[in-house]
Every structure is written in C-alpha cells, then in structure tokens.
Amino acid sequence: MDNSSSVACSAPRHAPGALLDALSRRFGERASTTQAVRDHHGRDESPFPIAAPDAVVFAHSTDEVADAVRLCAMHRTPIIAFGAGTSLEGHIQAIAGGVTIDLTGMNQVLAVRADDLDATAQAGVTRKQLNEQLRDTGLFFPIDPGADATLGGMAATRASGTNAVRYGTMRENTLALTAVLADGSVVRTGSRARKSAAGYDLTRLLVGSEGTLGIITEVTVRLHPQPEAISSAVCTFQTVRTAVETVIATIQSGIPVARCEFLNVMSVRAINAYAKLGLQEAPMLFFEFHGSPNAVKEQAQAVEALALDHGGSGFAWSSTPEERSRLWKARHDAYFATMALRPNARVLSTDACVPISQLAECIVQTEADIGRSTLPIVLMGHVGDGNFHLGINLDPDSPAELHEAEAINERLVERAIAMGGTCTGEHGIGMGKIAHLEREHPSGVPVMRAIKRALDPHDLLNPGKVLRMHA
Amino acid sequence: MDNSSSVACSAPRHAPGALLDALSRRFGERASTTQAVRDHHGRDESPFPIAAPDAVVFAHSTDEVADAVRLCAMHRTPIIAFGAGTSLEGHIQAIAGGVTIDLTGMNQVLAVRADDLDATAQAGVTRKQLNEQLRDTGLFFPIDPGADATLGGMAATRASGTNAVRYGTMRENTLALTAVLADGSVVRTGSRARKSAAGYDLTRLLVGSEGTLGIITEVTVRLHPQPEAISSAVCTFQTVRTAVETVIATIQSGIPVARCEFLNVMSVRAINAYAKLGLQEAPMLFFEFHGSPNAVKEQAQAVEALALDHGGSGFAWSSTPEERSRLWKARHDAYFATMALRPNARVLSTDACVPISQLAECIVQTEADIGRSTLPIVLMGHVGDGNFHLGINLDPDSPAELHEAEAINERLVERAIAMGGTCTGEHGIGMGKIAHLEREHPSGVPVMRAIKRALDPHDLLNPGKVLRMHA
C-alpha cells in the first residue's frame, strides 16, 4: 500500500475570504488564521505530514459550533473537529482544506449524577479531568486509551484501551450525545436510561464516525463504582504463545480481569530503557483485578494457577497503589518509549484485533514478520480483547522506512481479517486505513457511503476520512 | 393518544398477481397465500387487530431471502420479516399489505466457537434452542426476554430482559450480522473481533431497526461462561419505594447482580393465582447472583444487608436449581398470569425505562395513576436497569378499555421522558409507539428518516413501523 491508494483524494476546497471574514465577525479573535495555530491543528500523533486548515475556530458552546458549521456550509467549505490531537490515523489532518473547530474550550463537566452512575460533559473535557471531578463520588470513568484524550474525540473514534476487557469501550459507555450535523442543526441522541429500544441507534452511529457525520459537542457517559480493592500482577513467560494462551484460558474461565496487557521482549526492553525499570526481558503479562478484597484475591490466585499451568514464572501480585502506578505508568509510557528508540523518530502504530483463539497464532506470525525488518518495532496490546499494537519506529522523512512500515501493517491487516478480525480495534480509520476498511467490509462500505451521503450530501464534515466519497 | 395518531398511515400496496406468481415459481409451496397462514402471520402479542400479509414466503437461506426481497422490490411491494411472532408493538402486522418472509426455517446454529465465546446462528434459531446446543460447552447465551424469541427477532428489536443488568442487551451482545437490504443486496456487518473501530457501526444500526432497514438472516452473538455458582434471593418490602431504593443502593455499590426484578402487590397476586404459589402479597424483589461460590455468597450477603437497611423482610436465598427454577418460571409466567386475570383478554404491555434515581418516584406516581383505573393492571420490571412494565389486562373489542389503557401508557411515557428516560426499554417502537418516539427524539427522528430514505427509498421494508415516512 502506498499513500496514494490509502488516502481518499478529495479536491481541496479552501475557505474563501468571505467565509474567513464571516468567522472573524462572529468569533473575533477566536477565529484564527495564524500559521502556528493552523499548523498545530494540522497534525496528530500519526506519521502523516502536516495538513493545516485555513482557519481555526475556538468554540465555547454547541450553539457556537452550529454557527461555525452553518457558515462553512454556506460556503461549501470542509469542517474538521479537533480535541486533544492524539488520534493515530490522521483523523484531524485538513487534507481538503477547510476550517478546524477546536473544542478544547468546551471543557465543562455539566452534570455528575452519582445516583445514576452517569455524567454529562462538554466534548473538550478530557478523561483525566472527568476523573478528577469524580474523585469524591466513589465513581470513575474507566475508558483509558493511554493519551489524555477528550471525551468528544474518544466518542468520535470509538476509543477503548486497557480497561475495555472488563468495562467495554466508548460504544458501551456512551449513553447520549449532542452533535452538530452538516447543515448546522443540532441532534440529541439517546437518553439517560441505561437501555432503550427507541428507534435507530444514532448514538452508536455517531460513536466511531470520526467527525464525518456530525461534530460531537456533549457526551453523556456511564460511570462505574470505584472498586473496593484493586490489585496488579505481573508474570513472565518463555514464549509469546504460552503468555497468550494464559490470557485465553483466563477469559474462557470467566475471571473478570479489569486489565490484561501483553508486552513482547522488545517492548519490555524499550520500557526499561525509557522508564529506568529493571523488568525481566521476556514475554510478559500485566493484569489488574477489581472487586472486593476477597474477590480480587480469588481472581489473582486463579490467574496465577493458569499462568503456572502455562509455564509462567515470577508471578507477583501487589495491591499497593505505588507499585501499581509504577507498572501502569510504564505501560502507558510505551508509546514514548518506542519513540525514544531513535532520535527524531515518529511511531506508526498498528491496531489489529482478532478473535482470541487466533491471537497467539496472529502474534507469532507477526513477530516472525517484524523479525525480518530493520526498523525497531515493539509489540504490546490489550490481549484480553484480542487487540494488539505494533509500535514501528520510523524516520518520517524516509520514504523507504515509511514504505516498509506500511508493508508490515498491510500484511498484519491481511492476517487479522483472514482470521475473522478487524483492521482496527480502537484507533479508527482516519485517512490511514480507508483501503483496509474497504477490504474488511466490502458489502458494508457502500451502506456507509449511502448514510454519509444522506447526512452530509456535500461531504463537508472531515472529508477524506473513513470513506472514499470521490472514488 | 388514539390509534390514528400513533400509527403511521401508509397506503396499502398489495402484492400484485404477477408477484404472487413469481414467488410461487421460485418457492413452490413455500410461498403460501392460504388464509390461515396469512392470518397467523398478521398478529403478534400486542392487542392490535390482525393485519394479514398477502402472502407468506418460508425462506431457508440468506439467498432465498434476497431472492424474495428482489422480487418484491421489482413490484414495489412491502416486505415484513417474521420470527416467533412474540413482538409487543405490532412489529409484524402487515398494515400496508405485502409479503411476509417467515424465517423460522432458518433454524441452524452455524458455528459455536467455544474458544472465542461466540456463536453464529441463522435468524430463526430461538434463544432456548441456542442454549440447548451450548449445554456441553460450559457457555451460555444470557439474553432472556421471557418469550422464546428468535435471535433475528431479538436483534431486530434490540431485546433484553432479566439478565441485562449484568450481561447487557442485544446491543452489547451482537458481534456481527448478515442482512438483506431493500434492493436484495446482502450486507455483512461487524466481525468476530470483540471490539472494532472500523467505520460506521452498521451492526448497531441494524440492531433495533425492526426490519425497516434490512432483514437480518444471520446473527453472531457473544457467549458467556456458565457461572460456577448461581443463587437466587427473594425479599418483601413494606412499600414500593423502599424496595426500589434497595435496588438503587445495590447498583450503586457495584454488586454485580445478574438479575434484579421487582413485582408489585397485584403482580404477586396474579402469579400466585396462575402458578399456584403462596408468595407473600407485598412489594417484592427477586435477585439472582452469578459467580464463584464465595462471590455469590458475598453478593447475597451484601444485598441482604442493604435490604434490611430498607426495612426488607423474609430475605431468603437459595442455591438449589429447583427452587430457582420455580421462582423464575413464576416470573416469566407473569405475562400469562396477567392475561388470565379475565377470560378472553389481551395484554397491553408498557415499557418505560428511566434513570435509576427516578425509578422509585416513577413507579410511585404510576401506581397512583393505575390505582384510579378500573382495569386489572400488574406492575413488574427489570428494575436494575430502571425498566418496568405495566401489564394492562383489557378486552380488545372494547374501544373504551383500549382508550383507557392507551391513556395510562401515554401518561407513563410522558412521565418517563420528563424524567430523562425512554418510552421503550426493550420492546421497541413497532406501530404502537411512533408518536412517542417523535416526542422522545424530536431532533433524532428526522435523522432516522434520512437514513431510512437512503437505505430504503421506496419504503418497502416493514412500512408503517418505527417512523412515519408519509406524514
């Protein structure tokens, strides 16, 4: 795959002067055309080159987003939503020109309803900010994609992360949304009822639509009781296969693990170097257990027994917060640890997810493949869900390295789809996986296109992402 | 509300002779125009009068469904999918004429993948049939709407039931679908990966679309490990409010109850009469706990303590299968117990679902309202989710009784929506709740209509359900 085939070409539709004037009149200094501001909004964490918008509007309310969208729609100019900028597939790159709406000023938690275990927040609130505000309620918001992403961005990409094996993803944890559609109208989807059979599931349609069907401005999410006790465990294995088979046995036994992460040797080495740790450099599993003190103990013991059955060693579990934080901080630093393997590098992060019975085979084949590469590559993942990532360290200015990384990803996606899996467990399609989506869902993509055309006939919302509309 | 406002009028488009001939050529005796067969397919469990289709096709495969849809589409004739016929809002009534496709012949479980905790089945497989086939795997399929509905019908109505508080609904438990669209094309959505961020969530769009966007022909569902231990508990309360407050406290404590059902005095009385039981006639909670023997014991003790705090009495828990079966059979017979309160009656079943903090108030207000009615009415529900049902016993030939029942439902829906809830937790919209859906989702219904128009421009799939397309 080269970029020309993977990125949907959409002819640039730059914001005309009249639109820039209108935005300036409506938003004053909060409509910026400064180069630095535009550049900052033209790149995410992917290796894709900067594609800056023509202007950036800093919105403070749903009404302001609606006004900005209406003005852009009048001028048939693309509109891109921007949160923390931590997407991994070029989601926020303004590849067709247009106006970016920065939602980080919409940073109010509007309501925490502890009795109902839910909260409503503006789209620019980050997950850490929400959890800060929940601290005294006995509740927490579990979705943890690593980065301190905004709730709007997390909903838009159907994010998940390390806790998903127990608590689900944004798909399961989003109760209701407010979004601005392509014509500037505002839709409120879902309700605070924990379940509903009221019509088409517009909430789930917007979750994962990556700003192409609407701009999410408010999110109502489910909260969960803080577990009475938490414990972590770490265990090393002789082979990748035995580590992964331990995970499969754990899931099949119905042990409600809260987190279950795999790291290969190279990733343990990268983390040791980056975080100055002395973890044993072997295939490794991190576990976390949530529940009553007894339940947590019972879960850890059951997993230890399974690990021993599979030749695991050094099983160590701890319920002290300090030790736990140290381990999880290391796990979350993996992205930066990968980046730090070479100076001035970027990381291409793959995202295959397969049925768990296929996971060991998929990882073993992938390790063989990356063993033939000259690039430094780590492998780690949320293996309780069958989801794992390669972090491919590359020089973004080297076409050869980009090509090599993309070829590895290409083969991995092929492998995952052949095994009944998906090209993306949690990162989304963006501009990087459009061809992969077409391969994975040959009969679904035409349906997605029909929905996109119905809701955004002029292809104004984040054009060139998710779907190739001009093919 | 009267029927004229709640039911979307769609001019009849009866199957022309040429279509009936074509169906007969293609399907032989499996295309029936016999009056008894048509009448059988013209009514569900709601009190709506029979609206028989012009013909019924008994399909055996996705290809056959596609052929039938293509033939109907050529003749611009409506198509209605039919499974067990246990819907509660007139979902399968052929109110605009047309051809019903009976899917009960598609009754093969295609694959059980115990390692992956999933199974793929044809749409006509019922939940009990699937669980029979899972018996030796150590796994089970938890969604239990009471009736032995088909998996296709359960997906189409986003069904849930008593286990949803722990295991989720069809929304959370459907991994992938095969469906035939309005033009006869076949779409395969989702994958067997446990999570995916690959494009728009077509699986979730079809789940709950009630046959109006596509006819579901195959369903891949999540399975769950059979719990090591199961125990039940029952407890009575002095008031509705204290019973419901016990539930709220249970959910807020994070106790992972598997089932949590409330019955009011009238419903206990109906069940006692129908099932010859001697339950104490007081507001009552049924609980079920799943887990390890220790976890189950711990959960039951924690709930008992909460029940005592709220004045509960007679807390009795049991882990013998016989006692458990007896209780749950009684709970599941509630529908028939309600029907049996008067001879020749039908039951109008309401389905409000509210945020759990509002549940006690919602039930108390509703009990006051039904106390003023002359009709026999029971109240029970899946209170762990905030969902409860009235079973309104009525004479379907009495306009006055129908009107009274609808007025009670109308006020209940109003109350639920005002409390941040939904008009339907699990029964769906069908032809009975179209006006309620419009009230609940004033900004969402136009979006739903746009999607319907994009995927079914001639309004062929189950017209007159979910949305008013000809208003």
* Per-residue model confidence as pLDDT tens digits over B370-425: 999 999 999 999 999 999 999 999 998 999 999 999 999 999 999 999 999 999 99
Quick one: pLDDT at residue B336? 85
B327 confidence band (pLDDT: 50, 70, 90) = confident
Find out whether B190 and B202 touch, Cβ atoms under 8 Å: yes
Q: Which residue of A has its CA nearest to B157?
A: A197
User: Where does residue A70 rank: exposed (0-12), middle (13-18), buried (19+ CB within 10 A)?
Assistant: middle
B339 confidence band (pLDDT: 50, 70, 90) = confident
B1 confidence band (pLDDT: 50, 70, 90) = very low
Q: Which residue of B has its CA nearest to A214?
A: B447
- Distance from B138 to chain A by nearest Cα, in Å? 9
Quick one: pLDDT at residue A9? 52
**Which of B139, B163, B178, B194 is most worth mutating to test chain A (most A CB atoms within 10 A of its CB)?**
B194
* Per-residue model confidence as pLDDT tens digits over B108-150: 999 999 999 999 999 999 999 999 999 999 999 999 998 999 9
User: Which among A205, A224, A355 is the nearest to B254, CB-wise?
Assistant: A224
User: Which among B197, B204, B253 is the nearest to A428, CB-wise?
Assistant: B197
User: Where does residue A469 rank: exposed (0-12), middle (13-18), buried (19+ CB within 10 A)?
Assistant: middle
- Percent of chain B surpassing pLDDT 90: 85
Which positions in chain B touch A161 (Cβ < 8 Å)? none
Nearest to A103, CA basis, from A175, A179, A9: A179
Average the pLDDT over B251-256 and give the result: 89
| Rounded Cα distance, A10 and A12, in Å | 6
Quick one: pLDDT at residue B316? 83
The answer to whether B201 contacts A191, with C-beta atoms less than 8 Å apart, is: no
* Chain-centroid distance, C-alpha A471: 27
Quick one: pLDDT at residue A383? 93
The answer to whether A193 contacts B117, with C-beta atoms less than 8 Å apart, is: no
**Least-confidence region, from A335-339, B135-139, B356-360, B431-435:** A335-339
Q: Which residue of B has its CA nearest to A158?
A: B197
- Distance from A287 to chain B by nearest Cα, in Å? 19
User: Which among A115, A192, A197 is the nearest to B427, CB-wise?
Assistant: A197
Find out whether B55 and B15 touch, Cβ atoms under 8 Å: yes
Quick one: pLDDT at residue B10? 64
Q: What is the pLDDT along chain A (471 residues), one digit of tens a residue?
A: 333 334 445 688 999 999 999 999 999 999 999 999 999 999 999 999 999 999 999 999 999 999 999 999 999 999 999 999 999 999 999 999 999 999 999 999 999 999 999 999 999 999 999 999 999 999 999 999 989 999 999 999 999 998 999 999 999 999 999 999 999 999 999 999 999 999 999 999 999 999 999 999 999 999 999 999 999 999 999 999 999 999 989 998 889 999 999 999 999 999 999 988 888 999 999 999 999 898 899 999 999 999 999 999 988 887 788 878 877 887 878 888 888 888 889 999 999 999 999 999 999 999 999 999 999 999 999 999 999 999 999 998 999 999 999 999 999 999 999 999 999 999 999 999 999 999 999 999 999 999 999 999 999 999 999 999 974
- Distance from B448 to chain A by nearest Cα, in Å? 6
Residue found by looking up tokens 């793929």 in the block? B120
Average the pLDDT over B211-235 and give the result: 95
DSSP H/E element including B32:
strand B31-32
- B/e letters for B268-298, b = 16+ CB within 10 Å, e = fewer, are bbbbbebbeeebebbbbbbbbbbbbeebbbb
First to last CA, chain A: 17
The answer to whether B115 contacts A450, with C-beta atoms less than 8 Å apart, is: no
Pairing of strands A99-102, A79-82: parallel
Quick one: pLDDT at residue A6? 41
B97 confidence band (pLDDT: 50, 70, 90) = very high
- Percent of chain B surpassing pLDDT 70: 98
DSSP characters over B48-78: PPP---SEEEE--SHHHHHHHHHHHHHTT--
Residue found by looking up tokens 């013909």 in the block? B55
* Chain-centroid distance, C-alpha B5: 23
Query: Does the pLDDT of residue B343 top 60, yes or no?
Result: yes
* Per-residue model confidence as pLDDT tens digits over B162-184: 899 999 999 999 999 999 999 99
Find out whether B172 and B194 touch, Cβ atoms under 8 Å: no
Query: Does the pLDDT of residue B332 top 90, yes or no?
Result: no
Residue B348: strand, helix, or coil: strand
Query: Does the pLDDT of residue B236 top 70, yes or no?
Result: yes
| Rounded Cα distance, B376 and B338, in Å | 8
Q: Which residue of A has its CA nearest to B385?
A: A194
Residue B306: strand, helix, or coil: helix
User: Which among B164, B189, B466 is the nearest to A195, CB-wise?
Assistant: B164
- Distance from A1 to chain B by nearest Cα, in Å? 18
Non-local CB neighbours of A311 within 8 Å, separated by 6+ positions: A237, A238, A242
Which positions in chain A touch B454 (Cβ < 8 Å)? 450-451, 453-454
Non-local CB neighbours of B438 within 8 Å, separated by 6+ positions: B445, B468
Question: Token digits for B413?
Answer: 């829906």
